[in-house]
């Protein structure tokens, strides 16, 4: 079945905070946070309050699962809202307004290192789902092509900021001297570039395909350069795992099934994407899905792979966003994902 996208619109972005303030805020939310979801039964289904960082096609598995009735088949009624960024989406879980969230799973590590709760139970985006796009810069494969450029990304600690900063610094460039990151509200990176506020935008689909349709071009591909990378994880409180394991399993199983349907039936994924982004030309949305699948950006399996996780953690430790004191097994619980993958065959 195909349904309408509903009212999942991003909330407005609050002013950027200094990283230390963000980390302190996340830790503060963890204190006294409820450890179990408020899951109501309606029409035989368990209602799950679900927060996505920003509405985008990197999360196509979520949308395919909803439109295809996969979550309902597994007993869940999804209530999805867009939080406006990675920090906000996990904060919704910590604060008790969401039962699960998808976004940069580094937020769980930050919480844990500051004495708070959090676990990652699956992967939704398995590559850095960002492309550098520009109307004035020619394509390049050497990261030094960013030198001298103004680059629009979301503010730190959002993932496209972190990936870009790590890329620049690891290739010998100093921020503010050799290249400049222009932080803008999540989802407005393309608009900033088109308006001339930046030379390059580091953005995700479908904004990238929309920019290309307006005369811009992809100048650098982060997904292949970075390789396996746990860009987006399913985040939850440990109390939910302990008190509602059947709900966690149903959710993770749904993502496994949805990911397989996305890759197995691209035409259906395109139909879903058109419904989720009805204001964009259909051919633009189709192009975005083609790119998502070509670069293997949506997770082909919900299981969190250790190499992809370590790639993310290495970047975040380098940037100083985490201390890197927690092991993979301390933060990632693959029990539900392994069971889902085995059941799906």
* pLDDT value of residue 25: 53
Strand 200-203 with 100-103, pairing: unpaired
Residue keyed to tokens 């996990």: 90
* pLDDT value of residue 106: 96
Q: Which residues of 59-71 are buried (b: 16+ CB within 10 A; e: fewer)?
A: bbbbbbbbbbebb
Can you give 81-135 as a three-state secondary structure string?
A: EECCCHHHHHHHHHHCCCCEEEECCHHHHHHHHCCCCCEEEEEEEEECCCEEEEC
CB 72 within 8 A of CB 245: no
Q: Alpha-carbon torsion 118, 119, 125, 127, what sign?
A: positive
* pLDDT value of residue 3: 54
pLDDT over 90, % of the chain = 83
Strand, coil or helix: 137: coil
* pLDDT value of residue 345: 77
* pLDDT value of residue 78: 98
* pLDDT value of residue 289: 97
Distance between CA atoms of residues 307 and 327, nearest Å: 12
**Mean pLDDT, 10 residues at a time, over the chain (345 residues)?**
48 33 47 41 83 96 98 98 94 97 97 97 96 97 97 90 94 96 94 97 93 95 94 98 98 98 98 96 95 95 98 94 96 98 90
pLDDT digits (tens, 9 = 90+) for 132-187: 999 999 999 999 999 999 999 999 878 899 999 999 999 999 999 999 999 999 88
Distance between CA atoms of residues 341 and 253, nearest Å: 8
Class of residue 126 by CB neighbours under 10 A (exposed 0-12, middle 13-18, buried 19+): buried
* pLDDT value of residue 8: 45
Q: What is the CA radius of gyration of the chain?
A: 19
């Amino acid at each position: 079945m195909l349904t309408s996208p509903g009212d999942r619109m991003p909330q407005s972005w609050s002013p950027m905070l200094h990283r230390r303030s963000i980390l302190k805020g996340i830790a503060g939310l963890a204190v006294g946070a409820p450890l179990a979801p408020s899951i109501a039964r309606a029409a035989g289904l368990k209602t799950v309050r679900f927060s996505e960082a920003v509405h985008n096609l990197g999360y196509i598995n979520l949308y395919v699962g909803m439109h295809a009735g996969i979550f309902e088949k597994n007993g869940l009624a999804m209530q999805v809202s867009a939080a406006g960024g990675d920090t906000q989406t996990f904060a919704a879980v910590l604060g008790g307004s969401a039962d699960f969230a998808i976004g940069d799973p580094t937020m769980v590590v930050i919480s844990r290192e500051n004495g708070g709760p959090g676990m990652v139970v699956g992967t939704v985006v398995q590559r850095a789902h960002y492309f550098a796009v520009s109307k004035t810069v020619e394509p390049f494969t050497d990261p030094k092509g960013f030198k001298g450029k103004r680059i629009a990304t979301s503010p730190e600690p959002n993932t496209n900021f972190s990936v870009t900063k790590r890329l620049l610094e690891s290739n010998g460039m100093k921020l503010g001297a050799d290249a400049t990151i222009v932080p803008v509200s999540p989802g407005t990176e393309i608009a900033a570039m088109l308006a001339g506020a930046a030379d390059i935008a580091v953005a995700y689909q479908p904004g990238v395909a929309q920019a290309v349709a307006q005369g811009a071009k992809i100048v650098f591909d982060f997904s292949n350069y970075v390789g396996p990378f746990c860009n987006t994880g399913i985040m939850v409180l440990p109390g939910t795992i302990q008190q509602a394991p059947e709900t966690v399993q149903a959710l993770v199983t749904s993502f496994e099934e949805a990911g397989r349907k996305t890759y197995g039936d691209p035409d259906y994924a395109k139909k879903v994407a058109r419904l989720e982004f009805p204001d964009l030309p259909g051919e633009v949305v189709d192009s975005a899905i083609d790119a998502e699948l070509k670069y293997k950006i949506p997770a082909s399996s919900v299981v969190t792979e250790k190499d992809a996780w370590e790639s993310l953690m290495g970047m975040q430790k380098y940037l100083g966003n985490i201390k890197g004191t927690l092991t993979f097994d301390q933060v990632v619980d693959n029990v539900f994902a392994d069971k889902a993958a085995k059941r799906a065959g």
